[in-house]
Amino acid sequence: MSSGEQRDAAEFYRNDPVIVIFLRHLGCIFCREQVQDLNAHPDWNILFICQAQPDEAGEFKNAMNSPHHFACDPEAKLYEEFGLERGGLRELFSAPVVKRGFQAWGKGVRQGRTIGDPWRMPGEFIFNTQGNLVWENRARHAADHSPAEVLGAALKRASASSTQEP
């Protein structure tokens, strides 16, 4: 957690499905854009995973005015467990990434100080209340994250699957 406390993962999906979002690094313009965009959905159960220390994650959460939870994985062990690999030049500097960078810039989002491995790829996962993975997006490049509408639709489906018998 950004406060430094340790919590059981089941706490995050016990009552509501959870969107788990792995951020590349806290300075990443695309990660900042995603956190900013998801601020519009304070009622969604979101857990951002970052490669920062708790104090750095807490500062970032406050600076971004995020209503969501942050968990710290400075050694990227969870990233590896979820199969989120390190990218190369193509994943970080291709034409689609540059184009998306200009779009994020146009929304007022700026690149920040790199905190974490800038080569690590992001990803998004949704778990229902039984802890089952029901949706995922493993980024193909640095700018590849799902729009809020896509996450919202997947979260709605996860809520429906949570009410069904296991």
CA proximity to 53, closest of 115, 7, 6 = 115
Q: In what order do the strands lie in the sheet with 123-127?
A: 69-72, 46-50, 18-22, 123-127, 133-138
List Cα–Cα distances, 15 to 56, 74, 103, 117, 129, in angstroms: 28, 27, 36, 32, 6
Above 80 in pLDDT, residue 56? yes
What 3-state class would DSSP assign to 69? strand
Which uninterrupted H or E stretch holds 46?
A: strand 46-50
Dihedral over alpha carbons 74, 79, 81, 86 (to 10 degrees): -120
What is the residue-averaged pLDDT of the chain? 92
CB 72 within 8 A of CB 1: yes
Q: Residue 10: which pLDDT band, with cuts at 50, 70 and 90?
A: confident
Quick: pLDDT tens for 72-99: 999 999 999 999 999 999 999 999 999 9
| pLDDT value for 6 | 72
Over range 122-148, report the average pLDDT: 95
Report residue 158 as tokens: 């996860």
Above 80 in pLDDT, residue 1? no
What 3-state class would DSSP assign to 153? helix
